[in-house]
């Protein structure tokens, strides 16, 4: 499998706080990669750095072999690298279908292409994907009226609507009803296998990430602590210490 995302020695500081220090990780095309670590270990900061939310202080980030370090979030998204947010972000005052329609790939075009009605095929696809995450019944509802868990699912569907090559998911199961988590894992897998989206997932729920990911990277205090297949990371003593604290 070829390397899709290559993060090389990325450092990010906020004033005196070093949020990421010399972090390196790779994501291969077609896999599901996991990113874990205790609270404050710099996972979301790393997502921000990759997706262009802020400039990095050192290192380089290659997507499909080209550096995206100096790009902002919009051009990065247009290359096919999207992220979702831990605190879900959707367009509150628009309906679910509208949220989906404006997330389609063709909405990233120039002004002239925007000055056309939403194609019927796009609305149909929006309906399909809303069905995929179980929100078809809510398609005409205001997105802001959905529960937090449903908004999370909507945000996931919006990302899929964009047909990204790589999707960064920040805690997809946080706030989701535990009985629905298995269904969500299944959908993440299907997005990966059926829709061909490579995933990089931040997750606190160990059962979920150990089940889902092919490879896992663990961060602690802004550095990479361990890396490997789930079995290795789970049994790594340093990882256990980082989560539980060392006496």
Answer yes or no: are the C-beta atoms of 32 and 203 closer than 8 Å.
no
Task: Work out whether 64 is an interface residue with other proteins (CB under 8 A).
Answer: no
Residue of the chain from 46, 61, 71, 101 that contacts other proteins (CB under 8 A): 101
For residues 158-187, which are near other proteins according to CB under 8 A? 158, 162
How far lies 114's CA from each of 16, 100, 123, 124, 162, in Å? 43, 15, 15, 18, 15
Task: Work out whether 93 is an interface residue with other proteins (CB under 8 A).
Answer: yes
How far apart CA 2 and CA 31 sit, in angstroms, is: 10
Task: Work out whether 117 is an interface residue with other proteins (CB under 8 A).
Answer: yes
Token pair, residue 130, equals 């809303």
Task: Work out whether 121 is an interface residue with other proteins (CB under 8 A).
Answer: no
Answer yes or no: are the C-beta atoms of 118 and 72 closer than 8 Å.
no
- Residue 211: partners with Cβ closer than 8 Å, 6 or more residues away: 185
Token pair, residue 200, equals 């990089």
Residue of the chain from 4, 50, 61, 82 that contacts other proteins (CB under 8 A): 82
Task: Work out whether 126 is an interface residue with other proteins (CB under 8 A).
Answer: no
φ and ψ at 134, to 5 degrees?
80, 25
Which of 41, 45, 42 is closest to 56 using CA atoms?
45
CB of 29 to other proteins, least distance (A): 20
Token pair, residue 61, equals 């980030």
Which listed range, 15-23, 63-71, 99-107, 205-213, lies at the site for other proteins (CB under 8 A)? 99-107
Which listed range, 14-22, 95-103, 127-135, 146-154, lies at the site for other proteins (CB under 8 A)? 95-103
CB of 216 to other proteins, least distance (A): 25
Given its phi and psi angles, is residue 30 left (phi above 0), alpha (psi -120 to 50 degrees) or beta?
left
Answer yes or no: are the C-beta atoms of 166 and 82 closer than 8 Å.
yes
CB of 107 to other proteins, least distance (A): 6
The helix or strand, by DSSP H or E, that contains position 130, with its residue range, turns out to be: helix 120-132
Task: Work out whether 247 is an interface residue with other proteins (CB under 8 A).
Answer: no
Which listed range, 3-11, 16-24, 112-120, 230-238, lies at the site for other proteins (CB under 8 A)? 112-120
Site string for other proteins, 127-146 (x = CB under 8 A): --------------------
Task: Work out whether 78 is an interface residue with other proteins (CB under 8 A).
Answer: yes
Q: With CB under 8 A, what is the number of residues at the site for other proteins?
A: 36
Residues lying near other proteins in the complex (CB under 8 A) are found at 51, 53, 72-78, 82-83, 85, 89-94, 98, 101-103, 106-111, 113-118, 158, 162
């Amino acid at each position: 499998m070829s390397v899709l995302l290559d993060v090389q020695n990325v450092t990010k500081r906020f004033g005196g706080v070093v949020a990421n220090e010399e972090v390196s990780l790779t994501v291969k095309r077609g896999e599901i990669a996991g990113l874990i670590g205790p609270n404050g270990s710099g996972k979301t900061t790393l997502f921000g750095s990759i997706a262009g939310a802020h400039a990095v202080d050192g290192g380089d980030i290659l997507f499909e072999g080209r550096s995206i370090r100096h790009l902002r979030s919009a051009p990065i998204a247009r290359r096919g690298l999207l992220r979702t947010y831990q605190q879900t972000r959707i367009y509150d005052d628009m309906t679910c279908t509208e949220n989906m329609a404006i997330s389609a790939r063709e909405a990233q075009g120039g002004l002239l292409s925007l000055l056309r009605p939403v194609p019927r095929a796009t609305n149909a696809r929006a309906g399909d994907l809303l069905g995929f995450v179980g929100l078809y019944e809510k398609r005409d509802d205001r997105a802001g009226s959905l529960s937090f868990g449903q908004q999370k699912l909507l945000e996931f569907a919006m990302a899929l609507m964009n047909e990204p090559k790589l999707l960064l998911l920040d805690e997809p199961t946080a706030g989701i009803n535990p009985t629905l988590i298995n269904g969500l894992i299944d959908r993440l897998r299907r997005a990966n296998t059926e829709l061909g989206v490579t995933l990089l997932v931040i997750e606190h729920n160990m059962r979920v990430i150990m089940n889902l990911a092919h490879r896992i990277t663990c961060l602690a205090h802004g550095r990479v602590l361990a890396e490997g297949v789930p079995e290795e990371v789970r049994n790594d003593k340093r990882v256990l210490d980082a989560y539980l604290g060392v006496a």
